[in-house]
Chains A and B, each alone.
Chain A
Amino acid sequence: MSELARLRWKCRRGMLELDLLLGAFVEHGYQRLEPTQRSQFERLLDYPDTVLLEWLLGRIQPTEREIVQLVDKIRASAAT
């Protein structure tokens, strides 16, 4: 529980777009990730906001395949 709470706070970002995308994913998508994907998500959160924005809005594709898959999952879970 506290692990999820810690991640939830790490999803508080400097940009509204990231708050919405990461905040929705940590509530609804994160629990369904495999343990290795969970640690990748944690690593993803360490990237600067501007990099995350480019990835999550689909403007630039990350170079690592695992991150690409994760970014796709987050984009797919974006609530309409």
Chain B
Amino acid sequence: MEKRSFDTLIIGAGGGGLRAALQLSQAEARVAVVSKVFPTRSHTVAAQGGVNAALANVLPDNWHWHMFDTVKGSDYLGDQDAIEYMCRAAPRAVYELEHFGVPFSRLDTGKIYQRAFGGQSRDFGGDQAVRTCAAADRTGHAILHSLYQQNIRARTHFFDEYFAIELVHDDAGYFLGAVAMDISSGEPLLIEAKTTILATGGVGQLFRTNTNALVNTGDGMAMALRAGIPLQDMEFFQFHPTGVAGKGMLITEGARGEGGYLLNGDGERFMERYAPNAKDLASRDVVSRAIATEVREGRGVGANRDHVLLKLDHLGADIVKKRLPGIRDMVKTFLHIDPADTPIPVYPTAHYTMGGIPTNRHGQVVVPVQQGAEEPVPGLYAVGECACVSVHGANRLGGNSLLDILVFGRAAANHVIEHLKHQRYHQPIPADALAPALQRLARWNRQARGESIAGLRAQLTKIMEDHCGVFRNEEVLQEGRNAVMALRERLQDAGIEDHSQVFNTARIEAMELENLMDVALATVSSALARRESRGAHSRIDYPERDDQQWLKHSLFNLDPMKMDYKPVRMQPLTVESFPPKKRTY
């Protein structure tokens, strides 16, 4: 197998990976970035909202208030040291982006424009804060393109359209790089590195209805799992109540804010039963669960009774065209209907993965060691949505995900730079360290017959939607876990007919499904184990938050398969801890 050597290998070219790469390249480290699609087609491009930073350009603000909101938003599951670090670092992260060429929208004063977002307050839970910096409605795109250009200038080495197959580590648990495959030729490549940073993003593709790009299959999370690293807090997945049914695209709360409402198969405005006062404007989890309940109880709409309707036509064509033009364009394009005339089929859609690979605030992957405290895994880092720092805890605030990738991409790189000063040579790679990657490749070159990958994937995402979506109780989750375990067995018997080498997308899709399968098991197992409701994890059989038993992080291990737990880091770096309180808005 061909081998290339670098100081640092970064897997994933979204905002987190590119921010880390830039920091390292500017420090003259030799950096390789592996990306399965062209870097500017990473999912960061889809982030519209913005970046939270207490710049106080519009109203008074303070990083400490931002910290309070983030801790509260996390339903007290976020680690307060990491949250303090992130909120303090936020203004600098934004000014750096400005320096890299991100065209932030401006106020008349010339300062960076900031907008109000949900969950953000002044003075520790007081009036609405104005904290989110944006480049029109394409902040993610602007960040991704600026970082990519800067990386080209700093001579970061890109392996575009390479698919990472497996991490490489020695028997002592030191991570030494990865085996990746050149998608255009099918050739495997060993990328040797003194440090490896995982930045592969989230795993929205676990669920049939989701807002994520197809590339979001949790590749880094699954590689970490198979290398013996647990996944943390995977039961916490953010859903939006209204996605286009069967497709997933988000329809913003604004549609209901303008007066739109939901109807079931009987034509009933069912939210009146679930939330007599707030009705269709009840909180996201209440609306999501109500929709899922209507469908479960047979009151859905359509041939399969598997969705409900969002009615906007009563608002009049003028309002729909003027106030909701983006939704109208999207619905017209995909459904060939005009929401000004016809209600939109909707279902809750999976959006953001709060859980992931456990790290500390330096981006170092950390694992528990026997009964003692957790320790960093030598040579391995993770940043962004694939990681769990944990700054989002049980629920993420809007505007904090772009901030997360920028702050921790940079922090991980700085830690790596220090590390590289002390490690001048590559560690030897034992001959058998490549075996898992080679076996994985060979497996899909061998078997031609068997169940179809697309069919198994459709079954997996349906199981996850029905059994690990917004409607969760012991019975539903247990059935879901059994079903995922059975499906994972059946994947052993799957085959692909195409054994060609050049752009063999069937083989990539098979390996992506393997990754999804492992992460699905982590997600449904963690959700089954956690018998409380906290943040995005809502159990109808355990409707309350239970700080006595459950103020702790979940850790799912693949081999041997088991749940483990570790305490939440309640102690910030310099300020006093925010103790758990009932979370009301």
* Chain A interface residues toward B at CB < 8 A: 1-2, 5-6, 8-10, 12-21, 23, 48-50, 56-59, 75, 78, 80
- Please, how many angstroms separate the alpha-carbon atoms of A58 and B44 in the complex? 23
Select one of A5, A56, A57, A78 contacting B502, CB under 8 A.
A5
CA distance A13 to B39 in the complex (A): 10
Do residues B141 and A50 form an inter-chain contact, with CB atoms below 8 A? yes
List 26 A-B pairs, Cβ < 8 Å.
A1-B500, A2-B500, A2-B503, A5-B500, A5-B505, A9-B183, A9-B505, A14-B37, A14-B215, A15-B213, A16-B46, A16-B212, A17-B333, A48-B45, A48-B141, A48-B145, A49-B40, A50-B45, A58-B329, A58-B333, A59-B325, A59-B329, A78-B333, A80-B334, A80-B335, A80-B336
Decide: A50 near B138, CB < 8 A? Known: A5-B505, A13-B213, A78-B334: yes
User: How many angstroms between the C-alpha atoms of A59 and B321 in the bound complex?
Assistant: 12
Would you give the shortest CB distance from A78 to chain B, in whole angstroms?
6
Interchain CB contact under 8 A, A49 and B214: no
With A8-B505, A48-B145 given, is the CB distance from A13 to B329 under 8 Å?
A: no
Q: Across the interface, which residues of B come within 8 angstroms of A80, CB to CB?
A: 334-336
Q: Which B residues between 327 and 357 are near A, CB-CB below 8 angstroms?
A: 329-330, 332-336
A56 to B333 CA separation, bound complex (whole angstroms)? 8
CA distance A23 to B335 in the complex (A): 16
User: Closest chain A residue to B43 by CB distance?
Assistant: A14
Given A5-B503, A6-B503, A14-B40 in contact, is the A21-B214 Cβ separation under 8 Å?
A: no
Which residue of chain B has the shortest Cβ distance to A23 in the bound complex? B214
CB-defined contacts of B334 to chain A, threshold 8 Å = 17, 20, 78, 80
CA distance A13 to B144 in the complex (A): 13
Chain B's interface size range is 35 or more
Collect the chain A residues with CB atoms within 8 Å of residue B141's CB: 48-50
- Give Cα distance in the complex from A47 to B127, angstroms: 42
Report the Cα distance A8→B161, complex, angstroms. 12
Closest A residue to B335 using CB positions: A80
The listed residue (A1, A6, A50, A57) touching B329 by CB distance below 8 A is A57
The answer on a CB contact under 8 Å between A20 and B247 is: yes
- B214 and A16 contact, CB distance less than 8 A: yes
B155 at the interface (CB under 8 A from A): no
Q: Does B211 contact A (CB under 8 A)?
A: yes
B248: Cβ under 8 A from any A Cβ: yes
**Closest B residue to A17 using CB positions:** B249
B503 and A9 contact, CB distance less than 8 A: yes
Report B-chain residues with C-beta under 8 Å of the C-beta of A48.
40, 45, 141, 145
Interface residues of B in 7-51 (CB under 8 A from A): 36-38, 40-46
Docked pose: A59 CA to B137 CA in angstroms = 14
Q: Is A17 in contact with B330, judged by CB distance below 8 angstroms?
A: yes
- Identity of the chain A residue whose Cβ is nearest the Cβ of B14 in the assembled complex: A14
* B184 CB within 8 Å of chain A: yes
Report chain A residues within 8 Å CB of B500. Answer: 1-2, 5
Q: Is B423 on the interface with A (CB-CB < 8 A)?
A: no
Judged by a CB distance under 8 angstroms, whether B482 is at the interface is no
Whether the pair B40, A12 counts as a contact (CB closer than 8 A) is: no
Residues of chain A contacted by B212 (CB below 8 angstroms): 16
Report the separation of the CA atoms of residues A15 and B214 in the bound assembly, to the nearest whole angstrom.
8
A57 to B141, CA, bound (A): 17
Let me know if B333 and A12 touch, CB within 8 A: no
10 tightest A-B contacts by CB?
Answer: A14-B45, A5-B503, A2-B502, A57-B329, A15-B46, A19-B214, A6-B503, A14-B41, A50-B141, A49-B45
Q: Which of B36, B43, B213, B500 has the most CB of A within 10 A?
A: B213
Cα of A49 to Cα of B43 in the assembled complex, Å: 10
Interface pair B41/A49, CB less than 8 Å apart? yes
In the bound complex, CA of A18 to CA of B333 (Å): 11
* Residue of A whose beta carbon sits closest to that of B500: A2
Q: Kindly provide the distance from the CB of B347 to the nearest chain A CB, expressed in whole angstroms.
A: 14
Interface string of B242-281 (1 = CB under 8 A from A): 0000011100000000000000000000000000000000
